[in-house]
Amino acid sequence: MKGILKIYHPEETLKYNIKSTYCKAVYSNKQHFLEVEIITDDSLDHVDDDSLQYHFPQLSMDVFDFPIDDAEIEGKTFAVTDSADDTFTGVDLFDDEDAYLYNSELSFEKNQDGDLELFWKGEINDFYTGSGDAVPFKLKCNFRPDEIVVDD
């Protein structure tokens, strides 16, 4: 498992296991940009049948084209806020519903194994009940390379 995402909905805390992660500082036109993609696992083995999460088993969260000072992200924290002019975050629910992120804060650190870790907190609109309110979330994941085993 690459990490966990918890969405603190008023009715229940929704837990997503993270299947894949991607992070890169891109240099384009004399500017560095941060790109992050987190995709959750669609397994519902740990979820009760009557859970709100059962209707949304998987999601993807992204940060894209976010300007940063340089390519080094370890030990740094970035406050990512979308505006009417600039959109840096996205959520895919793998459904027809829409969701948006607010007040994202991304912190990058190396763990004791030398792997880069992301701590991401913020708010996501309540796409579960459609109330229009934003609910807090926290995410912790690593960017350890997957070991690919090839059988002969």
Residue 102, CA atoms < 13 Å, CB-side half-sphere: 11
Helix (H, G, I), strand (E, B) or coil at 14: strand
> What confidence tens digit (pLDDT) does each residue in 34-56 have?
999 999 987 766 666 666 656 67
- Cβ burial of 58 (10 Å; 0-12, 13-18, 19+) is middle
Q: Which amino acid appears at position 70 of this protein?
A: D
> What confidence tens digit (pLDDT) does each residue in 101-119 have?
999 999 999 999 888 999 9
pTM of the entire structure? 0.86
- Looking at residue 122, what is its pLDDT? 96
Q: Where are the beta strands (DSSP E) in the chain?
A: 3-8, 13-28, 31-40, 60-68, 77-80, 89-92, 101-110, 116-125, 134-142
